[in-house]
């Protein structure tokens, strides 16, 4: 059987979120997994390990998460699609190389199965506190893409999408999930290989001697790539660099370099942003949610609708870039925006910012122990609607 046929297990399966994530990676063409074991990301590694020989993949347990992501970046430059999986404390270690990945414009996927923090936190409890870290974790200015699935099916779909986006925009993409979704067992449909849309990195096609590693297309601001060891004699560095990849320490180059890294995501943010709306057209109150918590929101909205409250739901699938325009637009229509989060208010402030005072924003702490219940969301909806 061909490698692609073995990689894509077309059909319906009963999978956990973790297994679906590993299958998503394999279906997207991931052939390198570098990791350091941390609970609760084991299951993704386990599934990859069961399947890697089907697709001539390589996996390595590195000495820590710093090196796991470093190895992934190195592997990606050989032309292989590469990923790493981790959880909060490991994600903190990876911060350094998220920055290097952005600076070297290296496609790769980082899966963060959030557990309750802070620090070592509560490893088995589903966490939600890494949202802002995914955005701002590494030093310096950069834009990041982070996706937030809420079911095993989305763990599959969004892992594929994460690879696609990382290749298209030449940047690390973070799949930010939690123990709840990764442990969830549901039906997952894996499409035919030909129906899986994967964007592959743009390769340089000109003369070898003319190759400049950071000469970008004005169209998408993304420079074409070459694989290492093909005789292009190129230089890349984490230092501020010009289009030759040579370090240049001046303000002009700093702006040329970093401004583009930011702009290549910002300009195309609306193409990347993805969300799901339900009954927002006539809604007075809209619950804005993401990840595991969003599963409870749908129940709450349905329940209060039956009681005559015009409620709606906006589920954010792409946390970063943030769906700013959508929130602003909804804030013009609705009176209240409720943001239930399994953290002490990270996306809530973003929603409030984007609402620009046009709707009142309410934060709700929907603790990990409450995931699976929607009574607190119902209660707050009723309270703000004074019913």
Binding site for another protein (CB under 8 A): 31-32, 34, 53-54, 56, 58, 60, 62-64, 66-68, 70-80, 82, 96-97, 99-100, 104, 227-239, 244-247
- Which secondary-structure segment (H or E) carries 60? strand 58-61
Closest distance to another protein from the beta carbon of 177 (Å): 24
Cα–Cα distance measured from residue 183 to residue 36, given in angstroms and rounded to the nearest whole number: 19
> Toward another protein, which CB reaches closer, 236 or 269?
236
Q: How far is the CB of 352 from another protein (least distance, A)?
A: 35
Residue 332, Cα to own-chain centre: how many angstroms? Answer: 28
β-pairing, 185-190 with 11-16? antiparallel
Nearer to another protein, 33 or 347 (CB): 33
User: Would you say 152 or 245 has its CB closer to another protein?
Assistant: 245
Q: Can you state the angle between helices 17-28 and 42-51, rounded to 10 degrees?
A: 50
Please, what is the minimum distance in Å from the beta carbon of residue 224 to another protein?
A: 16
Q: How far is the CB of 204 from another protein (least distance, A)?
A: 13
- Nearer residue to another protein within complex by CB, 66 or 132: 66
DSSP 332-354: HH-SEEEEEESSSSSHHHHHHHH
Nearer to another protein, 54 or 220 (CB): 54
Q: Which is nearer to another protein, 239 or 267 (CB)?
A: 239
Which C-beta is closer to another protein: that of 248 or that of 385?
A: 248
Q: What tokens appear for 42 in the block?
A: 């084991």
CB closer to another protein, 6 vs 367: 6
Please state the closest distance from residue 170 (CB atom) to another protein, in A. Answer: 15
**Nearest-approach distance from CB 378 to another protein, in angstroms:** 48
Rounded to 5°, angle at Cα 109 from 226 and 139: 90
Q: Residue 96 and residue 205: Cα distance in Å, rounded? A: 32
Q: Which residues pair with 144 in a beta bridge?
A: none
- Could you tell me the CA-to-CA distances from 334 to 103, 307, 329, 353, 386 in Å, in that order? 40, 18, 9, 15, 15
For the bound state, the minimum distance from the C-beta of residue 227 to another protein, rounded and expressed in Å, comes to 8
- Dist CA 81 CA 26 (whole Å): 9
> Residues 266, 171: contact at Cβ < 8 Å?
no
Quick one: which H or E segment has residue 172?
strand 172-178
State the nearest-atom distance from the C-beta of 231 to another protein, in Å: 5
Task: Enter the tokens of residue 48.
Answer: 């990859």
């Amino acid at each position: 059987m061909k490698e692609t046929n073995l990689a894509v297990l077309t059909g319906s399966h009963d999978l956990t979120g973790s297994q679906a994530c590993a299958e998503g990676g394999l279906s997207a063409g991931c052939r390198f997994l570098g990791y350091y074991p941390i609970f609760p990301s084991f299951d993704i590694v386990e599934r990859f390990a069961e399947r890697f020989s089907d697709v001539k993949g390589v996996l390595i347990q590195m000495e820590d998460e710093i090196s796991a992501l470093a190895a992934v970046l190195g592997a990606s430059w050989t032309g292989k699609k590469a990923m790493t999986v981790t959880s909060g404390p490991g994600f903190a270690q990876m911060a350094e190389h998220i920055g290097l990945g952005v600076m070297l414009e290296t496609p790769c996927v980082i899966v963060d199965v959030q557990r309750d923090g802070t620090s070592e936190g509560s490893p088995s409890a589903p966490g939600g506190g890494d949202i802002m870290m995914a955005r701002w974790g590494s030093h310096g200015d950069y834009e990041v893409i982070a996706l937030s699935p809420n079911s095993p099916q989305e763990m599959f779909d969004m892992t594929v999408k994460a690879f696609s986006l990382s290749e298209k925009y030449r940047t690390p993409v973070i799949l930010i999930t939690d123990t709840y979704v990764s442990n969830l067992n549901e039906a997952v449909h894996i499409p035919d290989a030909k129906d899986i849309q994967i964007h592959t990195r743009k390769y340089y096609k000109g003369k070898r001697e003319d190759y400049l590693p950071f000469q970008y297309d004005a169209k998408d601001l993304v420079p074409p790539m070459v694989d290492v060891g093909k005789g292009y004699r190129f230089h890349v560095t984490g230092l501020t660099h010009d289009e030759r990849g040579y370090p240049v320490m001046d303000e002009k180059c700093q702006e040329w370099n970093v401004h583009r890294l930011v702009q290549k995501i910002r300009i195309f943010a609306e193409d990347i942003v993805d969300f799901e709306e339900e009954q927002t057209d006539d809604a007075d109150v809209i619950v804005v949610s993401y990840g595991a918590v969003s599963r409870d929101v749908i129940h709450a909205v349905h329940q209060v609708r039956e009681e005559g409250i015009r409620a709606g739901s906006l589920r954010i699938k792409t946390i970063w870039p943030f769906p700013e325009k959508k929130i602003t637009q909804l804030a013009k229509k609705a009176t209240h925006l409720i943001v239930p989060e399994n953290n002490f208010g990270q996306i809530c402030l973003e929603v409030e910012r984007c609402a620009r005072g046009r709707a009142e924003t309410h934060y709700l702490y929907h603790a990990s122990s409450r995931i699976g219940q929607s009574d607190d969301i119902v209660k707050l909806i009723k309270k703000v609607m004074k019913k």
